[in-house]
Structure 1
Amino acid sequence: MLPRRFLVIQKVLGALLGLSSLFFVPPLTLAIALREDTVVAFAETFACAALLGLALWWPVRRLRYELRLRDGFFITTFAWLLAAAVASIPFMLAEPRLALTQAMFEAVSGLTTTGATTIDGLDHLPRSMLLYRQSLNFYGGMGIVLLAVAILPMLKVGGMQLFRAEATGPGKDTKLTPRIAGTAKALWLVYLGLNVLCALAYWAAGMNLFDAVCHALSTVATAGFSTHDASFGYWNNPMIEVVAIVFMLVGGINFGLHYVAWNRATMAPYQKDTELRFFTLLALAATAAIALALWLGGEISGLAGAMRRAAFQAVSNLTTTGFTLGDFSLWPGFAPLLLIMLAFIGGSSGSTSGGMKVARVVMAVRQGAREVKQLVHPKGQFIVKMGGRRVSERIVLSVGAFCTLYLLCFMGVMLALTATGIDLVTAFAAAAASINNLGPGLGEVSVHFGTMPPAAVWICSFAMILGRLEVFPVLVLLAPSFWRE
């Protein structure tokens, strides 16, 4: 018989698998209402997930055991893998009837809020399948925020609470509610409210109700799936683009700030947050630089038109949403490369964005500047500050370790992709788009990932999970010491 801790892990994974069966209820309901051919696929997948989850949970439902931190890492990683495996089934059973490799990629991309796709012909898919794709973005968007609240602070490497407690804000802003369950509920309420507001704004700006709801699910989640192959280029509507920019920025901000601001009915938390200030300045600087590149490169006649496209794409890539107005890989000068590099920074810690997060990047830069000063003045005493407060050496070292491992993982993914035979530009862009949860890239993956060889698609699927779980929970499982008692 398995040790008690493994049986309790089975119990937790069974409960999570059963919970994931709820993914299929909304699209199944819509498929029944519209009498689409996807009814059987969603019904069978719902039954499969529910029964398998019940089979794992029921025999060990009464067991009690206090799980250790290492068990939490195992459960977190495998819960995402199980959810992705189950979520891939409808893509194989119904239109677009993908092969296993592409179906798993689509599910992982949706749940990790990457927004990359292997599907060409979204405009012709059944509405229930389109809603299903968008809902995966919705579930994955809040999933990472709750992970940051419950798991990542234990690693001492980041997440929503880390920089709140150690650097930029008062301690009372760290614990949103006395218990994790209360925090999760509070964040879900904020998340749901923002999704409703976003859907209403899209509808008022000119989208039909179905598209408005679907795109709200992927905008606040900074995810990037769309119901049209042309993404936001389908509408060519400035008002819709403004709504997207606003809510992409909202999704890229620490959700703890949203909650505190809403709970206290004040904008003060936003005004005092150092990370948000850098995030805003970065978005403005990137917009200006890309607008100049478009204007001076002759891509767009008129500075206003260049600013419009630059603002949308800069915010989309910085927040790792991945919406597009067209193929930005064809833009002149440094613009395409800058857009890809923005995704490495990402949004704020505790947001739905991917990337390394603004706070970490700022802290790493300030640590580098401190080392330069130390070389010039060997006897000087220099400290790293965030928000006017000193950052502990433990946090500085943790951030340095995270950034180093993150970039090493990116290089490893890129080298693995080149080994499958794809060109260097595509390998670079695909690795960056996957590990940063961005979506669109350069070269062959500027529009979709459907032309990549199967091995490369599996590598990108792994990279998306690696990036979304912020490297450490996955790498911990690869350490031999993890498996020793």
Structure 2
Amino acid sequence: MNFGMVLKYLGILLISEAIIMTPSLFVSILYKGYDINAFVSTIAILFTVGFLAFAVKPKNKNIYARDGFAIAALGWILISFFGALPFVFSGAIPSIIDAFFEASSGFTTTGASILTEVEGLPYGLLFWRSFTHWAGGMGVLVLTLALLPTIGGGSVQIMKAESPGPTPGKIVPKVGHTAKILYMIYFSITIVQIILLMLTGMPLFDSLVNTFGTVGTGGFSVKNLSIGAYNNVHAEVITTIFMLACGVNFTLYYQMIKGNIKEAFKDEEFKLYIGVVLTSIILITINIYGNIFSSLGQALRHSSFQVASVITTTGYATTDFNQWPGFSKIILILLMFIGASAGSTGGGIKNIRILLLFKSMKRELFKIIHPRAVYTVKFGGKVIEEETLTEILAFFFMYIFIFIIALLIISLEGRDLLTTFTAVAATLGNIGPGLGTVGPMGNFSQFTDLSKIVLSLCMIIGRLEIYPILLLLLPSFWRKVNV
């Protein structure tokens, strides 16, 4: 472990957080909110701590794989802690545990909240709350690499540790350039949605924060009733389209820009993702038509929005799907686990893992029929290495194992099974609202501090895809060996 470089990068990360918090301060000043001093104090603390850590001069400037995982795990815990300070300093959320939950939910793009009255917050905090989605969507560390790509070597190790999906990599040879390309695409999508929402009549501020929540697949809204508060069909359609678009692997957009449009649409994960979305929309529409909604158009409108919101792990709502029939709710719960595509801003297990697990299952069945035959698992015409398949199986087991452990701890509160189950599923999968008392019209405020800490860690574990946080628990991980 190269502790000097880990500390140096954590310092850079905190400085970056201070920079991305500055727009929220400007919004607070513009609207003359009571949160101005809270932002000033937090930014000052971030710069001070960040520069002290950055001032470290390590002898070895290389970053190894374990260093990347340490930076990712510790970095996300730190940005969530410091990101919570404006809520605490302003008095909007006096409890540091509640504030940490809210900030963790923001950066991990979960969208779960402990706030019972969102509309009472000052504009600066509302902006910060949603902007954490945008910063965390593509990855705070990736954003740091885009802003400061020349800080030391081994940046690819950091990107691998933070990037979602089983096969993160570089679009172009230089990691800093890759980060810039990803954020250029990300920024362009953001600008387009802001403009389109404004054209529907949505105010500028609302268009900004709702876009941050959509593109970052986060789901924090400035309205207590989420997107449903606007009762704006055009805004809902735009939000649905952009949620689905941001659930797609962003490298496919780069391929399209380079002219490889046909190849992008041939991507197996993309086809599975679209297939799951369309099938879910059709099944839920049939189930709620005539039962919950008398109009087929209304049923299709709300089913498509909620399917897009859940599978991309955004968490916005246009209606109380807690009241839907059991069949529809089961589909939504399954979508919570499936999640979006690898390399997107969404959470969950990811479509590519689900696809490869099914292919592995199919191979094992064929092996029973023809024991002497040699079968391989292919993706995109290429043979998947056994090591990758083993990693996916291990990830799936760890995901379920962590889910069960968290479920047992949360169940100590004695709440109903639906609330307990979906609270863990919604936080580990970075979805946001669950069902029961944590449904779209509820929140997580009623949980104990222990449960809130566990659920906060679930959000960070889910966002970093398990490995970085679990590695922190291994004593051998901290040994000072450059391997």
Change (3 A) 1:366 1:5: closer
Change (3 A) 1:50 1:154: closer
Change (3 A) 1:329 1:385: same
Give the Cα separation in 2 of the matches to 1:436 and 1:327.
Answer: 20
Change (3 A) 1:371 1:62: closer
Matched, 1:40 2:45: no
- AA aligned to 2:28 is A
Give the Cα separation in 1 of the matches to 2:163 and 2:392.
Answer: 8
The equivalent of 1:49 in structure 2 is 46
Task: State the Cα deviation string for residues 263-312 of structure 1 (Å, max 9, x = none).
Answer: x245224322111111001100010111111115x111122211111000
Q: CA deviation at 1:41?
A: 0.8
1:421 to 414, 422, 438: 414
- AA aligned to 1:70 is R
Task: State the Cα deviation string for residues 382-410 of structure 1 (Å, max 9, x = none).
Answer: 22222233222222222111111111111
Q: Is the 8 A contact 1:160 1:256 kept in 2?
A: no
The equivalent of 2:149 in structure 1 is none
Give the Cα separation in 2 of the matches to 1:176 and 1:70.
Answer: 23
- AA aligned to 2:269 is E
The equivalent of 2:13 in structure 1 is 16
Alignment of 1:169-180 (within 5 A): 175-180=170-175
2:156 to 150, 162, 175: 150
Give the Cα separation in 1 of the matches to 2:341 and 2:141.
Answer: 11
Give the Cα separation in 2 of the matches to 1:381 and 1:145.
Answer: 41
TM-score, L = length of structure 1: 0.92
Task: State the Cα deviation string for residues 53-73 of structure 1 (Å, max 9, x = none).
Answer: 122222x24754323211211
Give the Cα separation in 2 of the matches to 1:355 and 1:83.
Answer: 22
1:271 to 259, 265, 272: 265
Q: Point out the more displaced range, 145-154 or 22-31.
A: 145-154
- Identity over the aligned pairs, expressed in percent? 34
**RCO higher in structure (CA 8 A, sep ≥6):** 2
The equivalent of 1:452 in structure 2 is 447
Give the Cα separation in 1 of the matches to 2:336 and 2:81.
Answer: 26
Alignment of 1:115-154 (within 5 A): 115-143=111-139, 146=142, 150-151=156-157
Give the SS at the match of 1:229: coil
Give the SS at the match of 1:334: helix
Give the Cα separation in 1 of the matches to 2:334 and 2:178.
Answer: 33
Give the Cα separation in 1 of the matches to 2:198 and 2:295.
Answer: 29
Matched, 1:284 2:278: yes
The equivalent of 2:86 in structure 1 is 90
How many residue pairs were aligned?
Answer: 468
- AA aligned to 1:129 is L
Change (3 A) 1:206 1:78: same
Give the Cα separation in 2 of the matches to 1:253 and 1:295.
Answer: 29
Give the Cα separation in 1 of the matches to 2:77 and 2:33.
Answer: 29
Change (3 A) 1:343 1:144: farther
The equivalent of 2:307 in structure 1 is 314
Give the Cα separation in 2 of the matches to 1:77 and 1:71.
Answer: 10
Give the Cα separation in 1 of the matches to 2:326 and 2:415.
Answer: 23
Change (3 A) 1:448 1:105: same
- AA aligned to 1:77 is A
The equivalent of 2:401 in structure 1 is 408
Task: State the Cα deviation string for residues 408-435 of structure 1 (Å, max 9, x = none).
Answer: 1111111111124333222111110010
Change (3 A) 1:375 1:251: same
The equivalent of 1:238 in structure 2 is 233
Q: CA deviation at 1:153?
A: 8.2
- AA aligned to 1:362 is L
Task: State the Cα deviation string for residues 356-386 of structure 1 (Å, max 9, x = none).
Answer: 1101101101111221222233233322222
The equivalent of 2:107 in structure 1 is 111
Q: Is the 8 A contact 2:302 2:319 kept in 1?
A: no
Change (3 A) 1:159 1:49: closer
Give the Cα separation in 2 of the matches to 1:189 and 1:123.
Answer: 32
The equivalent of 1:229 in structure 2 is 224
Task: State the Cα deviation string for residues 140-194 of structure 1 (Å, max 9, x = none).
Answer: 0010793999348868x9846828xxxxxxxxxx642221011001111111111
1:293 to 269, 287, 292: 287
The equivalent of 1:257 in structure 2 is 252
1:329 to 293, 306, 322: 322
Q: Point out the more displaced range, 6-15 or 60-69.
A: 60-69
Give the SS at the match of 1:478: coil
Matched, 1:192 2:197: no
- AA aligned to 2:167 is L
The equivalent of 1:168 in structure 2 is none
Change (3 A) 1:108 1:356: same
The equivalent of 1:162 in structure 2 is 167
Give the Cα separation in 2 of the matches to 1:106 and 1:386.
Answer: 38
Q: CA deviation at 1:322?
A: 0.6
- AA aligned to 1:393 is E
Give the Cα separation in 1 of the matches to 2:214 and 2:296.
Answer: 27
Give the Cα separation in 2 of the matches to 1:356 and 1:349.
Answer: 9
Give the Cα separation in 1 of the matches to 2:195 and 2:101.
Answer: 31
Q: Is the 8 A contact 2:141 2:158 kept in 1?
A: no
2:63 to 62, 67, 85: 67
Runs of at least 4 residues off by over 6 Å = none
Change (3 A) 1:265 1:380: closer
Q: Is the 8 A contact 1:319 1:347 kept in 2?
A: yes
Q: Is the 8 A contact 2:139 2:163 kept in 1?
A: no
Q: CA deviation at 1:10?
A: 1.9
- AA aligned to 1:180 is V
Q: Is the 8 A contact 2:255 2:261 kept in 1?
A: no
Flag structure 1 segments of 5+ consecutive residues without an equivalent: 164-173
- AA aligned to 1:375 is I
Q: CA deviation at 1:95?
A: 5.0
Q: CA deviation at 1:481?
A: 2.5
RMSD: 2.2
